[in-house]
């Protein structure tokens, strides 16, 4: 990897960081999750590429698919050397590439940003936890590649006028300090305007949820299993409420926020994706929202906003568990690497 010229290199011989060191739990878990997630994305992008007219958007889809395939190939090479079974993830059985168009071209760019942000959060968490040099380098590579890709996506969104820019705030006249405890309130009386970090996360959560809602509209209209369909409709309703609640906070301060993307879903009811893929996708992405809420709560300074996030968090935790139960009941949930069951080993000794 390219080194930072400011940092002086260490003169160590880290034998326990070499590629022949045994994989740790974080290394196993993050490689597994990265492979499964990218196997899903790869099939979705292959379907999108069957229905795209805009040449710029086609190129960005091809770049996204190339990244997913590259990440998967690199993981397969690492796991093969460890005699570690490659996860199944998702296969050609989970997509019908001949299905009619389900989304307009514009949606693809919003979708790619939505999932790229999720991938970035996975790689960022992995980097400080993995110890082996080759695996650390792999996640740094994933991180840098995804950041570059997100830059391309934002460029396409801006150049084609497909995005409402985040709010622009007045530059402070001077550095100031908070003097009163009422800075934290938000339920009654005079409420201070939102600060920059609160605005950032409200905007980000709305951006994620508008894409998620459009995806849930599409998934719910093509799902085959009634239980799956009801699960997806419920997710759509949860997401719609979230968009409205977060938007109201920005609207009170006359600040812009992302618009709905519902109109980018076609009227097709012919499913391009298996019910397994659609349920897994929403469980995975709602889990990403939960991580995002943690970041939002951490920098929030108003009680009303903190309370709003906590209610959303509680609702989404239940939703994710219900989705996991659907996956388990149908035999769709692949098991991640796990610790040895010492109690079971002891009881079966004789």
Q: Does residue 211 sit in the same domain as residue 150?
A: no
pLDDT in tens, 13-42: 666 667 778 899 999 999 999 999 999 999
Looking at residue 301, its pLDDT comes to 82
Least confident piece of the model among 30-39, 227-236, 290-299: 290-299
Sign of the torsion formed by the C-alpha atoms of 131, 283, 216 and 209: negative
Torsion of CA 137, 36, 219, 268, to 10 degrees: 90
Which band of pLDDT confidence, cut at 50, 70 and 90, is reported for residue 276?
very high
Q: Does residue 215 sit in the same domain as residue 314?
A: yes
Q: Does residue 145 sit in the same domain as residue 259?
A: no
User: How many other C-beta atoms can be found within 10 angstroms of the C-beta atom of residue 53?
Assistant: 9
Share of the chain above pLDDT 90, in %: 75
Q: Which residues contact 208 (CB under 8 A, 6 or more apart)?
A: 114, 117, 288, 289, 292
Q: Does residue 206 sit in the same domain as residue 307?
A: yes
pLDDT at 257 over 60: yes
Domain with 303 in it? 192-329
What are the distances in angstroms from CA 48 to CA 6, 37, 104, 267, 327? 43, 17, 9, 16, 25
pLDDT at 330 over 80: yes
Residue 338 within any structural domain of the chain: no
Residue 174 within any structural domain of the chain: no
Nearest to 253 by CA among 293, 213, 305: 305
Looking at residue 156, its pLDDT comes to 97
Residue 262 within any structural domain of the chain: yes
- The number of angstroms, rounded, from the C-alpha of 70 to the middle of its chain's C-alpha atoms is 19
Residue 183 within any structural domain of the chain: no
Paired tokens of 187: 């339920």
CATH number, domain with residue 303: 1.20.1260.10
Residue 224 within any structural domain of the chain: yes
Domains in the chain, number? 2
Residue 346 within any structural domain of the chain: no
Q: Does residue 198 sit in the same domain as residue 142?
A: no
pLDDT in tens, 139-187: 999 999 999 999 999 999 999 999 989 999 989 889 888 777 666 676 6
Q: Does residue 148 sit in the same domain as residue 198?
A: no
Total-model pTM:
0.91
Q: Does residue 153 sit in the same domain as residue 198?
A: no
Looking at residue 11, its pLDDT comes to 75
Rounded to 5 degrees, what angle do the CA atoms 337, 65, 331 make?
Answer: 35
Q: Does residue 77 sit in the same domain as residue 153?
A: yes
- Taking phi first (over 0 means left), then psi (-120 to 50 degrees means alpha), and beta for anything else, what does residue 83 get? left
Q: Does residue 196 sit in the same domain as residue 324?
A: yes
Looking at residue 350, its pLDDT comes to 55
User: How many other C-beta atoms can be found within 10 angstroms of the C-beta atom of residue 230?
Assistant: 13
Residue 14 within any structural domain of the chain: no
Q: Does residue 61 sit in the same domain as residue 117?
A: yes
Q: Does residue 46 sit in the same domain as residue 138?
A: yes
């Amino acid at each position: 990897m390219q080194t930072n010229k400011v940092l002086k290199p260490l003169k160590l011989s880290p034998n326990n960081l070499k590629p022949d060191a045994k994989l740790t739990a974080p290394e196993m878990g993050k490689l597994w999750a990265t492979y499964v997630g990218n196997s899903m994305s790869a099939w979705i992008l292959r379907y999108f590429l069957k229905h795209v007219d805009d040449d710029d958007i086609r190129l960005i889809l091809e770049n996204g698919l190339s990244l997913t395939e590259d990440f998967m190939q690199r993981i397969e090479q690492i796991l093969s050397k460890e005699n570690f079974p490659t996860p199944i993830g998702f296969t050609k059985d989970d997509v019908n590439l001949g299905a009619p168009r389900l989304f307009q071209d514009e949606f693809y760019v919003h979708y790619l940003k939505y999932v790229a942000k999720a991938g970035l959060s996975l790689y960022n968490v992995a980097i400080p936890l993995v110890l082996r040099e080759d695996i650390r380098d792999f996640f740094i590579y994933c991180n840098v590649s995804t950041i570059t890709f997100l830059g391309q996506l934002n460029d396409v969104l801006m150049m084609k006028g497909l995005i409402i820019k985040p709010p622009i705030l007045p530059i402070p006249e001077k550095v100031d300090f908070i003097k009163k405890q009422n800075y934290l309130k938000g339920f009654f009386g005079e409420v201070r305007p939102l600060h920059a970090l609160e605005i950032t996360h409200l905007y980000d959560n709305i951006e994620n949820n508008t894409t998620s809602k459009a995806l849930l509209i599409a998934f719910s209209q093509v799902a085959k299993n009634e239980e799956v369909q009801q699960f997806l409709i419920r997710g759509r309703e949860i997401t719609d409420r979230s968009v409205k609640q977060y938007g109201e906070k920005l609207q009170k301060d006359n600040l812009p926020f992302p618009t709905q993307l519902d109109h980018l879903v076609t009227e097709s009811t012919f499913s391009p994706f298996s019910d397994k893929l659609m349920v897994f996708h929403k469980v995975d992405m709602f889990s990403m929202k939960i991580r995002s809420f943690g970041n939002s709560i951490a920098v929030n300074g108003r009680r009303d906003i903190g309370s709003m996030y906590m209610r959303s968090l509680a609702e989404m935790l239940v939703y994710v568990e219900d989705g996991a139960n659907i996956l388990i009941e149908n035999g769709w949930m692949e098991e991640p690497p796990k610790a040895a069951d010492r109690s079971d080993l002891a009881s079966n000794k004789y």
